[in-house]
Amino acid sequence: MQNPPFRVSCVFSPAATHLIFVFRFAKPASLFYNRIRKADGGFMQVHLRPRLAAAASFLCGFRTVADIGSDHGRLAVALLQQSSATRVIASDISADSLTKARALALRCGVSEEQLAFSVSDGLSHLAPGEADALVFAGMGGELIARLLEEGTAVAQAAECIVMQPMGGTLELRRFLLEQGYALADEQLVLDAGRYYQIIAAKPGPGQPADIPCDALLEFGPIAFAKRDPALYPALLRCRDSRLRRMRKAEQRGIVPPQLAHALYGVQELLNILERERQTNEVN
């Protein structure tokens, strides 16, 4: 039986008239998703939270994956434990984070031949072709774009680039398309009450592609085309949030044009999806 993530203790009240139950969490809440469990062989097994698990699903079958901004190394270790990659190169600008990643790899039975570490900002530690897949998870979209631009030779030599931006999805997709990358796949994931986007791209022919409207750049033309199940609720949440911001702005006598444009774009996508839903209900 699995131990609960909290401990319960029972004490008397100061007046000794009733009992007080005290709940103490045994683990930080952040580990409820990125859990590390002991496997049968004695080594630990990493279980990824949904957003990282979705990113990992886009990385199956590659020989060498470079995990850029690896942090504590959970994604890197999980890719090897799941046999998604033969080798992973984990890099981070923080030496302290990589020290923790090394400790995790040791606990999980991952060898140095399988998992290499490098203190690096972006792609500067890689030679073109050294990694056939790159993954950027948990950083801003504009930062990912900057790192790709600074490491163009390495990025262009990769077969696949998987990104899980924390924001700036519109700016990231615009950069990719303007620089001649091709969007390969997309997915929206609900994780701990927040929607995240996973974007897979590959080097294209080098010619800028047609740029979709801003709303599609923000939420993903592929996700919209395949009607990702999480897209409609993500659009609803975004629309409602922008409506609240717009009403507050209007109360101050301001109508921000950028916010109005963004709200209009999201509503247009919702209108298309809602018309389809109504048609399906009639049929």
CA-based nearest residue to 219, from 208, 235, 203: 235
4 located within any domain: no
Q: What percent of the chain has pLDDT over 90?
A: 79
Same structural domain for residues 45 and 184? yes
Between residues 178 and 3, the one the model is more confident about: 178
Give the chain's domain count: 2
Q: Say if 51 falls within a structural domain.
A: yes
Q: Are residues 188 and 258 in the same domain?
A: no
C-alpha to C-alpha distance for 33 and 30, rounded to whole angstroms:
7
- Give pLDDT, residue 113: 93
| Same domain? 53 vs 122 | yes
State yes or no: pLDDT of 206 exceeds 90.
no
Q: Is residue 17 part of a domain?
A: no
Asked whether residue 275 is domain-assigned, the answer is yes
Whether 147 maps to a domain, the answer reads yes
* Residue 160 domain flag: yes
Residue 16's pLDDT is: 46
Q: Average pLDDT, stretch 253-276?
A: 95
* 84 and 183 together in one domain: yes
Which amino acid is located at 154 in the chain? V
pLDDT of residue 38: 56
- Using the predicted structure, report yes or no on whether residue 2 has a pLDDT greater than 60: no
Question: Is a pLDDT exceeding 90 seen at residue 138?
Answer: yes
Contacting residues for 126 by C-beta, under 8 A, at least 6 apart: 66, 89, 151, 154
- Model pLDDT for residues 80-109, shown as the tens digit of each residue: 999 999 999 999 999 999 999 999 999 999
**CA dihedral of 59, 63, 67, 71, whole degrees rounded to 10:** 100
Kindly indicate the confidence band of residue 207, based on its pLDDT and cuts at 50, 70 and 90: low
pLDDT in tens, 18-73: 544 444 444 443 333 355 555 555 789 999 999 999 999 999 999 999 999 999 99
The pLDDT score that the predictor gives to residue 167 is 97
What's the rounded Cα separation, in Å, for the pair 88 and 20? 50
Residue 184's domain comprises 33-215
My answer on whether 210 and 237 are in the same domain is: no
Q: What is residue 35's predicted lDDT score, i.e. its pLDDT?
A: 54
Query: Is 271 part of any domain?
Result: yes
Do both 134 and 250 map to the same domain?
no
Q: What dihedral angle (degrees, nearest 10) is formed by the CA atoms of 137, 138, 140, 144?
A: -20
Residues 211 and 237 placed together within one structural domain of the fold: no
Q: Is 193 in the same domain as 241?
A: no
Query: Do 52 and 177 lie in a common domain?
Result: yes
Q: How far is CA 147 from CA 30, 48, 88, 198, in A?
A: 27, 25, 19, 17
151 and 251 housed in the same domain = no
Give the pLDDT confidence of 172-181 residue by residue, as tens digits. 999 999 999 9
The domain spanning residue 179 has which CATH number?
3.40.50.150
Say yes or no: 73 and 154 in one domain: yes
**Predicted pLDDT of residue 65:** 98
Higher pLDDT, 144 or 7: 144
Which of these three, 157, 183, 215, is where a domain ends? Answer: 215
Q: What is the pLDDT of residue 283?
A: 72
pLDDT at position 30, please?
39
238 & 151 share domain: no
Which residue's structure tokens are 């139950």? 21
Please answer whether residues 242 and 259 qualify as being in contact, where contact means their C-beta atoms are separated by less than 8 angstroms: yes
Which pLDDT score is estimated for 201?
97
pLDDT at 262 over 50: yes
DSSP annotation of 29 reads G
| Structural domain contains residue 28 | no
Q: Residues with Cβ < 8 Å from 183, sequence gap 6 or more?
A: 173, 176, 177, 199, 200, 201, 220, 221, 222
Examine the pLDDT at 10 and tell me if it is beyond 60: no
Q: If pLDDT is split at 50, 70 and 90, which confidence band does 271 have?
A: very high
H helices of 185-255, in order, are 214-219, 221-225, 231-251
Tell me the sheet residues that pair with 62.
Answer: 85
Tokens of 26: 């045994």
Top pLDDT among 23 and 234 is at 234
pLDDT at site 41: 58
Q: pTM for the complete prediction?
A: 0.84
